[in-house]
Amino acid sequence: MGKFVNAPINRHEALVPLSRDHFTGLAHANRLIKAAGKDRAARHRALSGFIDAWNAEIADHFDDEERLFHGHIDAADEQRLLDEHAKIRAMAIEARGLKHSVDPSPERIRDIGQTLNDHIRWEERELFGRIEGQLNEEQLNAIAKSTASIEATRARSVSHIRTEDECPESADPEREP
C-alpha cells in the first residue's frame, strides 16, 4: 500500500457510514477513468460495475445525503450538492445507454468517472468538515442515529470491485489519486 498524500481524516460518527459509502463510489470512479484508456471490453466491464453499484448503493446514498443534510448546510453547499447529484444521476442514465453501445466513448466514460471522483473528493475534503464544524453535538448525534440505521441496512459488497486487476487502493477517500 502506498503512502498517504493527505493525513487520514477522522470523522464524527455521524458521517462515518457516508464516508464508507464513498469508498464504493471512488472505486468505480477509478475503474471508469482507467477503463477509458483500455479496450471496449474493459469499458463495458467498468460501465456494468458502475451501473450495478449505482443501483445497489450509490443512488440511495445520494438520497440519504440530501435528506440528512437538508437544513443543516448553508444554501451554497446545498445547491452544489443537489446540482452535482443531479448531474451524476443524469450520467448514470447515460451510462446505461453507453453500456449498450458497441464501442462506448472513452471520453464520456472518463468524464463520468472524473465527475464522480471530484464530487466525492469535495464532500470528503470540504463539505463534511464544514458540517462537523457548524453543527452542534445534538445535531450531529441526530444525524448519527439516522446514519447508524442506514448502515444497518446497507449491503456492503465490494468483492465485485476487487475481482478486477485495478485494485482500488487509490479509491480510499482519505488518499490522493
pLDDT value for 7: 63
pLDDT at 168 over 70: no
pLDDT value for 128: 97
Q: Who has greater pLDDT, 97 or 166?
A: 97
2-27: average pLDDT: 84
Which domains does the chain carry? Answer: 16-164 (1.20.120.520)
pLDDT value for 167: 42
125-142: average pLDDT: 96
Of the CA atoms within 13 Å of residue 136, those in its CB half-sphere come to 1
Q: Across all residues in the chain, what is the average pLDDT?
A: 87
pLDDT at 135 over 80: yes
Residue 71, Ramachandran bin (φ over 0: left; ψ between -120 and 50: alpha; else beta) = left
CA gyration radius for the chain?
16
Alpha-carbon distances, residue 148 vs 19, 40, 126, 173 (angstroms): 13, 40, 22, 20
